[in-house]
Structure 1
Amino acid sequence: MGSSWNDQKREVGARIAESAHLHLLSSIIPSQKSERISLIHSYHHAFNGFSAMLTEDEASLLSDHPEVLSVFPNSVLQLHTTRSWDFLDAQSGIGSRLGYYQHHHSSHDVIIGIIDTGIWPESPSFNDDHMGQIPSRWKGVCMDGSDFKKSNCNR
């Protein structure tokens, strides 16, 4: 029951976040353009937020909303990992102790810090168990580096 119960709580939390985000969008997009009220993505793990296509005027209105901390344009970033949330949840147990609702209402004045300890290939966060095959379209290579050997590479 443990993992499915946690999955259900996460799914409910995601739906609550998405609903709140859509409500916020509907408050700034004119009703005659309601077909534009659409989320690209709703974030609810480390912070409460969303991405959406907005005009400059809509972005300005949204940034003036009392519940909005900041609005900024999207930028293209390099993907560093695809499994951080699973790893962090398993290590901390936060997801199993608290649901989204508690996070949402107790996360005022929170500072989030990221500590980059470098790459330690033996770390469980780099474990490639249960990952599929490397996509055939991937053209990268594993390279030796200072204190890093090709044998440390995985999928």
Structure 2
Amino acid sequence: MDLTIQPVNQDNWRQVAQLSVQPEQRDFIESNAQSLLEAAYDRSLNWHPLALYDGDTMVGFAMIGAHRDESMWLDRIMMDQHFQGQSYGKHFIPLLLDYMQTNFGVEKVYLSAHEENEKIFAYYERFGFIDSGKHDPANGERIMFYSFSK
């Protein structure tokens, strides 16, 4: 694997918008097109849409932002349905955490997930995320966090 994280730009945004999760997963994450619109127009949270590559092949998408003090949100992460089950998530989550700490100096990363997506909580715990016991008031999702200063 030759994994890289690249900012979404005028050359790759259309390809990002075409990536999609499995049909049964679509209720758990916003479409990438919606995320790109949010990044373009919701300037208050300074979203950074990121394309996830293996070599020259785009395999996924992530969006980070809402940088406050020493924390930031990993607001979206998805692997295209054609690349799921190939360990990309397992490799990209640590790369994204490192990217966030290196480029933004964060000490804590937050994410949230739908309660109905039961498997995802144990998955994120494997990377060191901790259930905060709180829910995001904007969408009702359960909030988890990762702390670099353990």
Question: Normalising by structure 1, what TM-score?
Answer: 0.23
| Greater helix proportion | 1
How high is the TM-score relative to the length of structure 2?
A: 0.23
Query: Larger radius of gyration, structure 1 or 2?
Result: 1
Identify the structure with the greater strand proportion.
2
